[in-house]
Structure 1
Amino acid sequence: MKPIYLEQVLDFVREVDLRFGAPGSGGARANLEQDAVSLLSSLNQIQRDQLAAGMAEVRRLLRASAVRVDVEAPESADARWCMQEYFQELARRFDAGFDPAVSNPADEATLRPPNGVFVIARLDGEPVGCGALKSIRPGMGELKRMWVADRARGLGVGRRIIEALEGRARDFAISLLRLETNRNLTEALSLYRSSGYLEVPAFNDEPYAHHWFEKEIG
């Protein structure tokens, strides 16, 4: 038996207990390792691999269920931290770096009602993503400042942020949403396309953009 599987089972049970607030008694925990060994001994290698993959998926879903997306003042400490992380990632990934002063503006005043809204995604209370909605004109808005931390990738955080912003857009009577992005942000391109955004000709002069999208949200 590969030792890693025993450790995976033990870690999995501990994480499930923590998520559901049921750590169990010391006596119950005393037999946990023995039970895990018994379980694994009854499985062949293929079944152990399947068990490990299943536990990994359950852990991912448990983490995803802990994500919360809430409206936040764009001048808050967490919002500004998210913006700093976002700008630093763009600077790393764009071919020629990134300068916020050159990019089309989305200042704090435009990201507060009634002009717009800023949201933060948190995992276990810690910020792991953000996004903003900016009103352009009656019935039309723009998604801005979409960012997800590396440690929260794969949990559906970006989609949760988009859904939250689309809901707010409907509250503002916005029926058409637009956004633009850079060709190096491949995860963002995939997210926007899978979320129903259609690529359209350039509608602004954003110097860092290579792709422009829009979506009718009705």
Structure 2
Amino acid sequence: MSSWQLAPEAVGTADATRLRRDYYDEVASRYWKRPATSAEVDQGLADDGAELLTPPTGQFVVGRFDGEAAACGGLLMLDTERAELTRIYLAPAFRGRKGADLLLELLENEARLLGASRTVLNTRLDLVEARGLYVRHGYREIPAYCTGPYVEIWYGKDLSRAA
């Protein structure tokens, strides 16, 4: 029987690094409407703040399907109440197998463990699959809480009601 195993993992492991690269490659390529170069991926990952995705400032998780690293996601504590979800990624070959649902559930639980009562996230309008996932899990559009060149829509979820 095929199954998922998800757990916190340091962002610097080989699997976490590969998944973060794959995430950035996919979102950059979709944005630019062409394949991102290795140099562009390197530049995007340079100084991206991933070192903060460890307690007490955050958390990073990796999901494995039958032992193969296939998903990742992080959360960053913005303040004492809000955790921002970031770098949510599921490798294309593993989509449609409920890994994204499990990934979100684990990240929300990790956010609670760090003291968050609310999760927030930002994304782009063209990432329709991600937006659909968030809405299915109870995320609702919220006012902007940050700005950036790749930020077009913001979502939030009250964790105290969604335990």
Structure 2 length normalisation: TM-score? 0.87
Q: 1:181 aligns with which of 95, 117, 123?
A: 123
| More helix, by proportion | 1
Residue type at the aligned position of 1:207: P
Q: 1:209 aligns with which of 120, 140, 151?
A: 151
| Structure 1 match to 2:22 | 85
1:131 to 2:73 alignment? yes
The answer on whether the counterparts of 1:106 and 1:144 sit within 8 Å (CA) in structure 2 is: no
1:133 Cα deviation (Å)?
0.8
CA deviation vs aligned residue, 1:48-103 (integer Å, no higher than 9, x gap): xxxxxxxxxxxxxxx3xx11111101111111000110111012211467767579
| Structure 1 match to 2:60 | 118
1:106 Cα deviation (Å)?
4.6
| Structure 1 match to 2:12 | 75
Residue type at the aligned position of 2:159: I
Identical amino acids, percent of aligned pairs: 32
| Structure 1 match to 2:112 | 170
Secondary structure at 1:203's aligned position in 2? coil
| Structure 2 match to 1:150 | 92
1:109 Cα deviation (Å)?
2.3
Find the aligned partners of 1:108 and 1:210 in 2 and give their Cα distance.
21
The answer on whether the counterparts of 2:24 and 2:44 sit within 8 Å (CA) in structure 1 is: no
1:199 to 2:136 alignment? no
Find the aligned partners of 2:33 and 2:145 in 1 and give their Cα distance.
22
Q: Residues 106, 177 of structure 1: CA spacing in aligned structure 2 closer, same or farther, 3 A cutoff?
A: farther
| More strand, by proportion | 2
Residue type at the aligned position of 2:49: D
The answer on whether the counterparts of 1:83 and 1:145 sit within 8 Å (CA) in structure 2 is: yes
1:212 Cα deviation (Å)?
0.5
Structure 1 length normalisation: TM-score? 0.66
Deviation >3 Å, runs of 4+: 95-103
Find the aligned partners of 1:206 and 1:115 in 2 and give their Cα distance.
21
The answer on whether the counterparts of 1:132 and 1:144 sit within 8 Å (CA) in structure 2 is: yes
Instruction: Point out which structure has higher relative CO (alpha carbons under 8 A, 6+ apart).
Output: 2
Q: Residues 106, 116 of structure 1: CA spacing in aligned structure 2 closer, same or farther, 3 A cutoff?
A: farther
Secondary structure at 2:151's aligned position in 1? coil
Point out where structure 1 has 5 or more consecutive residues left out of the alignment.
1-18, 20-62
Secondary structure at 2:78's aligned position in 1? strand
1:158 Cα deviation (Å)?
1.1
Residue type at the aligned position of 2:125: R
Give the paired residue count: 154
1:109 to 2:51 alignment? yes
